[in-house]
Amino acid sequence: MSLYDWDTNPANNTAEWKRVPSYPGYLVNRNGDVRGRSVPTLKPQLTRDGYHRVLLYNENGPQHFSVHQLVCAAFNGKRPLGFSVNHINGVRTDNRAENLEWVTPKQNTQHRRNCGTYPSGEKNSRAKLSEDQARQVMKLRSQGLTYKQIGQQFGVRPSTIGWLVTGKTWKESNLVNL
């Protein structure tokens, strides 16, 4: 009986399973399930960013892997240099092979903007102002105040005000049209 007899038994296969490269004893299927020889299906952890990940072991020890990376590599081929995985439907926990594709970082960002999952405005973790404050900034700027004067009122740098006013930040909002 070989190491992989457990994964070739038709009774165990309701979906197509492929081996995880460099991690013998682990398989992934089109539905985004990962399993090992001693564990029927690994339970993925949810990361702070909203992705599923699993812990795999080999001779070098344990390593975390994003499930979408494993599935995409198994069913869409090796990751091209500089590419990342895109969830076609915009749902980070939907790791089905047909929902994953390799894209450039620029394509991935554009897709996130189109899906509404790109963190813009106050959804951005680095936002210094709320949407109400950003609207106030635009109003004050239209009244002739300088970036420095406005920045002092809100406790932010003049460059932060300049980026907002010129549309380099808050791009997806309608603040520029006020």
Band of pLDDT at residue 166, cut at 50, 70 and 90? confident
Cβ–Cβ < 8 Å for 68, 100: yes
Q: What is the pLDDT of residue 32?
A: 96
**pLDDT tops 80 at residue 159:** yes
* Strand ranges for the chain from DSSP E: 17-19, 26-29, 34-36, 45-46, 52-58, 61-66, 84-87, 100-103
pLDDT exceeds 60 at position 169: yes
pLDDT recorded at residue 14: 53
Beta strand extents in 95-174 (DSSP E only): 100-103
pTM of the predicted model as reported, rounded to 2 decimal places: 0.66
Examine the pLDDT at 76 and tell me if it is beyond 60.
yes
Is domain 5-115 classified as CATH 3.90.75.20?
yes
The distance between the two most distant Cα atoms of the chain, rounded to a whole number of Å, is: 80
Are residues 23 and 58 in contact, defined by beta-carbon separation less than 8 angstroms? Answer: yes
Give residue 8's pLDDT.
Answer: 46
13-70 residue pLDDT tens = 556 899 987 788 899 999 999 999 877 899 999 999 899 999 998 888 899 999 999 9
The domain limits of the chain are 5-115, 121-177
CA 86 vs CA 19, 89, 90: distances in Å: 21, 9, 8
pLDDT at 3: 39
Give CA–CA dist 83/85, Å, rounded.
Answer: 7
pLDDT tens across 82-138, in order? 999 999 998 999 999 999 999 999 998 888 877 767 666 666 667 788 888 988 999
**Please, is 142 exposed, middle or buried when counting C-beta atoms within 10 Å of its C-beta (0-12, 13-18, 19+)?**
exposed
What is the pLDDT at residue 126?
Answer: 72
pLDDT at res. 1: 34
The pLDDT of residue 12: 53
